[in-house]
């Protein structure tokens, strides 16, 4: 019986800490995008943007998608299992879902940034639009989401 209680305790701890890990990882990915893509605002580096974008997205996209779904699952599990803090986790799940509302717009911008046919002036405008959208996403969804998953642990 003690072994079963210990296993439940470990599982409960993992379920509670998982949203923190996925949220911080997603936020770091978004900050990484901001800093990486900001380095292409110079005309000297802008020509390398399409090939860099393709490599970056091919490498990071599967990781980001797996983080998103892990985040949804662990937030939902915490809503179910952590009755005392279900509101924080429900808010976190809502923020995670709201985060997806800009996905079609973000994907459109990322596709344009990968295009070899986009001229330099258009590419710079698209890059500025993506950086604005990404910073807004960090401030409006990522930062509150971090709060929503940390407060229940305090």
Report residue 83 as tokens.
Answer: 């009755």
**For position 1, what pLDDT does the model report?**
65
CA 66/CA 117 separation, integer angstroms = 31
- pLDDT, one tens digit for every residue, the chain (154 residues): 676 677 777 777 788 889 999 999 999 989 998 998 898 888 788 778 888 888 888 888 888 889 889 999 999 999 988 888 889 999 999 999 988 888 899 989 988 888 877 676 688 889 999 999 999 999 999 999 999 999 998 8
Half-sphere exposure of 152 (CA within 13 A, CB side): 26
Containing 11, the helix (H) or strand (E) segment is: helix 2-38
List C-alpha distances in Å: 25 to 22, 95, 130, 140, 141: 5, 15, 20, 17, 14
**For position 83, what pLDDT does the model report?**
81
**Residues across the chain:** 154
CA 16/CA 89 separation, integer angstroms = 10
pTM for this predicted structure: 0.83
**For position 137, what pLDDT does the model report?**
92
- The CA-CA-CA angle for residues 79, 82, 88, to 5°, reads 55
Report residue 145 as tokens.
Answer: 């989401």
**For position 93, what pLDDT does the model report?**
93
**For position 52, what pLDDT does the model report?**
85
**For position 3, what pLDDT does the model report?**
66
């Amino acid at each position: 019986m003690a072994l079963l209680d210990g296993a439940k305790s470990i599982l409960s701890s993992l379920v509670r800490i998982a949203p923190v890990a996925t949220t911080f990882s997603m936020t770091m990915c978004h900050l990484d995008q901001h800093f990486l893509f900001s380095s292409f605002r110079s005309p000297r580096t802008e020509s390398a943007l399409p090939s860099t974008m393709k490599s970056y997205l091919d490498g990071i996209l599967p990781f980001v998608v797996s983080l998103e779904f892990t985040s949804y699952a662990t937030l939902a599990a915490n809503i179910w299992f952590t009755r005392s803090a279900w509101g924080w986790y429900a808010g976190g799940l809502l923020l995670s879902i709201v985060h997806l509302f800009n996905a079609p717009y973000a994907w459109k911008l990322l596709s344009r940034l990968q295009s070899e046919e986009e001229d330099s002036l258009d590419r710079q405008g698209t890059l500025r639009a993506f950086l604005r959208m990404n910073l807004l996403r960090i401030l409006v969804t990522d930062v509150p989401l971090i709060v929503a998953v940390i407060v229940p642990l305090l």
